[in-house]
C-alpha cells in the first residue's frame, strides 16, 4: 500500500479523478489562446467531445494541439439552457484514426 501512495503512476487514472466523467457527444468550439505561430494561423477549431466532467473533457480534434496549450472551450446553447465557455489547458494530444484525441483540464474557478 505504501508503494502505491509513494508512486502515483501505479494508481489507475479513474481512481485519481476528482470529478466523475459523463459521456457527452457534442460539437463545441475551441479558441486557441497561446501566442504560437500555429495558434495565430488557426485560432479556431471544432472539437467533438467524448466525455466531460467538472474538471475537464476528452474530445477529438482535426488538428494536433501542443500539451500545455491554452484553450477557451465554448459550449453551445442546449434547449432552454444558455451556452457557456470555460478556459483550460491541453494535457494530452494523441493521434487517432479519426484525428487527434485531446484531453483538456479546465481552470479552477472560484465559487460565486
CB 26 within 8 A of CB 49: yes
Question: For position 111, what pLDDT does the model report?
Answer: 59
pTM recorded for the entire structure: 0.77
Task: Provide the pLDDT for residue 19.
Answer: 74
What are the structural domains of the chain?
19-106 (2.40.10.220)
Q: How high is the pLDDT of residue 15? A: 54
Of 110, 90, 93, residue with least CA distance to 101: 93
Digit-by-digit pLDDT tens for the chain (112 residues) are 344 444 444 445 555 667 778 888 899 999 999 988 888 899 999 999 999 998 999 999 999 999 999 999 999 888 787 888 999 999 999 999 989 999 999 998 765 5
The predicted pLDDT at position 30 comes to 95
Contacts of 10 (CB under 8 A, 6+ apart): 3, 4
Amino acid at each position: 500500500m505504501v508503494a502505491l501512495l509513494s508512486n502515483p503512476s501505479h494508481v489507475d487514472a479513474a481512481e485519481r479523478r476528482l470529478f466523475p466523467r459523463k459521456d457527452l457527444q457534442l460539437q463545441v468550439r475551441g479558441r486557441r489562446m497561446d501566442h504560437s505561430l500555429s495558434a495565430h494561423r488557426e485560432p479556431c477549431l471544432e472539437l467533438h467531445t467524448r466525455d466531460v466532467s467538472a474538471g475537464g473533457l476528452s474530445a477529438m480534434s482535426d488538428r494536433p494541439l501542443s500539451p500545455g496549450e491554452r484553450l477557451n472551450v465554448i459550449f453551445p446553447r442546449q434547449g432552454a439552457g444558455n451556452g457557456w465557455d470555460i478556459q483550460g489547458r491541453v494535457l494530452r494530444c494523441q493521434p487517432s484514426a479519426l484525428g487527434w484525441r485531446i484531453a483538456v483540464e479546465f481552470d479552477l474557478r472560484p465559487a460565486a
